[in-house]
Each structure stands twice: as C-alpha cells, then as structure tokens.
C-alpha cells in the first residue's frame, strides 16, 4: 500500500516520505482493517514526527496520523459489532507505529463508530480527535445548563467544536470566544454570544468572568484570571510548568461511546464539522498540509482527501 512514513525524527518536510510499497498491516484480535478514504491532521501528529512526544512501545519507521474515515474491508477475531462494508470513523489512539496517512489502517473496533450518513468522509475524518477533546474537556470542567464559558482559540479545530457543543449539548447560557479580527463573524455563526478580537483586547482584563474557561492555545496564566470564583479551567496544551489553579490538563482518549452519543447532533446538523478552506489536501500533498497546519492559521481542521 501507499503510505507516508518517517524513519527518523525531525522536521516533517525533512523526514516524511511517501512509501509506495509498505506492507498492509496485519489485524490483531479485536481490530478491523479500514480502507482509509480521508484523514485529518492534528498538532500531535507534528509533535510525534519531531519526537517531542513518544508513546510507550513506539518504534520507527512509522506512519503518522490519528483521525480517519473509511470503509471496513476485513474484520479480525473477537470483532463483535462492525462488519465488512461499514462506513466508519474514529481515531487511532493506539497508533504507536502505523497511523492513518496510509491506504489501509488496522484499528481497534472500540475506537470506531459508524459514520453519520449526513457527513461526507472528509467531514467525518475531521471530527474524531477534536470533538472528543472538546466534549471530554467540557464534561470534566463541569460545564452545565445555564453556566458561562470562555473559549481561547475559538476558530481552531477544537475551539469550533467547543463553541457548538457548549451551546447545543451542554446548554451554556453564554459563550465567549477569542480569535483574530478576520474570524470574529465565524465565531458568531457557530453560536458565540461574544466574539473577542485577541489582537485588540486582553480578554483577562474584561470585567466579565466565566464559570468555565477552555484554553486551546496555551495561555493558562492569563486564562486563570478570567475564571469566576469557584469556576474551572481546562487546557489542552501541555505545559512544562505547574498550571495555575483552577486549571487542569485534559487529553482525549479514543472512545466510540462519545461519537455515538453525539451522533444525533451531527445527523441533525446542530453540530457541524468545520474544514479549513484550503482543505482538502490530496494525499500526495501531505507535507504541504503539515506545513500549513504548523502556521497556526488554520480555521477548523486540515483534511487529507482523497486517499488513493
């Protein structure tokens, strides 16, 4: 199969290469083989290639990528629910070696859900990491009906889902979000009641404080000043230093139950995936897609489609 592979750690443009004849992965117990039709990139993919993050049991060479959507073409032993021909999506949290930037991927059945029929494969591939990160962080932070929320980085992959889930799923009474000048209208279209231009306003100096602050950009010291007494704050950016109270770090793990729980909101269109206007990048331009992701200017998700 064709797959993007790195054989050493370093900058993506230097170490990532297209292998036209990589062996199709063999199925382990409880896994299915997915013909990947679309994949999406996340900042952790870059960190893995660079060697900044190394999971236990990891070895080189490796295929990057977590998010995918595609069709089940083979099922392993102990697979109980999925069958050949199912359209699925999810993220490969186990991917210690071979990820989703390949024609085929071996994925645990427990990490995959049936693709909502309303969504294209591109849209479905854009969702798993960010929607599970957004939902899990809000749940852990205790957002509930009638509470207020501030999202830092509202136009990013996670931020766009945090705004929508806060309103549609958690029943937040007021959602504020930060972005650059050109993306303020997008925040409002997603459901933000207050769109804050971070190039002109220091959000922590606003008189308004919030029950929950969701930090997607790594500004925990400033963000903590925007939390109401007794409130909470979640960050998804790992820090080498101690987080200021009441902040905590959250990283999603792959869980089909969350995808199934949110399926009605995706099928109804109440929660929508947001794909960056420059996407999709064709499979042959994965390095260009990574380079664009690393600019930090993407709106929503950077998607790879079609996969050969």
Q: What is the mean pLDDT of each run of 10 residues along the chain (308 residues)?
A: 98 98 95 98 95 87 96 97 98 84 97 98 98 98 98 97 98 98 98 98 97 96 97 90 93 93 98 97 98 96 97
Q: State how far the alpha carbon of 7 is from the alpha carbons of 4, 58, 155, in Å.
A: 10, 12, 33
Q: How far apart are CA 10 and CA 263, in angstroms?
A: 38
Q: How far apart are CA 160 and CA 109, in angstroms?
A: 27
Q: What is the DSSP letter of 61?
A: S
Per-residue pLDDT, 208: 98
Q: Give the residue among 47, 41, 4, 2 at the shortest CA–CA distance from 23.
A: 2
CB 45 within 8 A of CB 63: no
Q: What is the DSSP letter of 156?
A: B
Which 3 state secondary structure label does DSSP give 266? Answer: helix
Tell me how many degrees the CA angle 27-32-38 measures, rounded to the nearest 5.
115
Whole-number CA gyration radius for the chain: 19
Per-residue pLDDT, 299: 96
Q: State how far the alpha carbon of 299 is from the alpha carbons of 13, 187, 189, 274, in Å.
A: 22, 11, 13, 8
Tokens of 250: 């959250």
Per-residue pLDDT, 95: 67
Q: Detail the DSSP E strand segments found in 118-252.
A: 148-152, 174-179, 194-197, 210-215, 227-235, 247-249
- Say whether 130-249 and 3-128+254-304 share the same fold: no
Maximum Cα interatomic distance, the chain, rounded to a whole number of Å: 59
Kindly list the domain boundaries of the chain, sorted by start residue. Answer: 3-128+254-304, 130-249
Which 3 state secondary structure label does DSSP give 237? Answer: coil
Helix (H) or strand (E) run with residue 274 in it: none
CATH 3.40.50.720 for the 130-249 domain, yes or no:
yes
Q: Give the residue among 254, 255, 212 at the shortest CA–CA distance from 234.
A: 212
Per-residue pLDDT, 49: 96
Which 3 state secondary structure label does DSSP give 93? Answer: coil
What pTM, to 2 d.p., does this model score?
0.96
> What is the CATH code of the structural domain delimited by 3-128+254-304?
3.90.180.10
């Amino acid at each position: 199969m064709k797959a993007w592979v790195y054989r050493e750690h370093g900058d993506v443009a230097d170490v990532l290469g297209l292998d036209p004849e990589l062996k199709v992965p063999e199925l382990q117990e409880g896994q299915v083989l997915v013909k990947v039709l679309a994949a999406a990139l996340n900042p952790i993919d870059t960190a893995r290639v660079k060697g900044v993050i190394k999971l236990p049991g990891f070895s080189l060479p490796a295929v990057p990528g977590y998010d995918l959507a595609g069709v089940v073409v083979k099922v392993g032993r102990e697979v109980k629910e999925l069958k050949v021909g199912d359209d699925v999506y999810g993220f490969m949290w186990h991917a210690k070696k071979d990820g989703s930037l390949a024609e085929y991927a071996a994925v645990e059945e427990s990490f995959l859900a049936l693709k909502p029929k309303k969504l294209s494969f591109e849209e479905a591939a854009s969702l798993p990491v960010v929607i599970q990160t957004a939902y899990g962080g809000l749940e852990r932070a205790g957002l509930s009906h009638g509470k207020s929320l501030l999202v830092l980085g509202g136009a990013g992959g996670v931020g766009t889902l945090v705004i929508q889930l806060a309103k549609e799923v958690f029943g937040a009474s007021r959602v504020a979000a930060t972005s650059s000048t050109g993306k303020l209208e997008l925040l409002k279209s997603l459901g933000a009641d207050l769109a804050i231009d971070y190039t002109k306003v220091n959000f922590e100096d606003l008189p308004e404080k919030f029950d929950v602050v969701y930090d997607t950009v790594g500004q925990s010291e400033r963000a903590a000043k925007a939390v109401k007494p007794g409130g909470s704050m979640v960050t998804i950016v790992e820090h080498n230093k101690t987080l200021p109270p009441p902040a905590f770090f959250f990283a999603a793990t792959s869980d089909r139950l969350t995808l199934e729980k949110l399926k009605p909101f995706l099928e109804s269109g109440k929660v929508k995936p947001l794909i960056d206007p420059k996407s999709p990048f064709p499979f042959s331009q994965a390095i260009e897609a990574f380079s664009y992701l690393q600019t930090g200017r993407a709106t929503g998700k950077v998607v790879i489609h079609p996969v050969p």
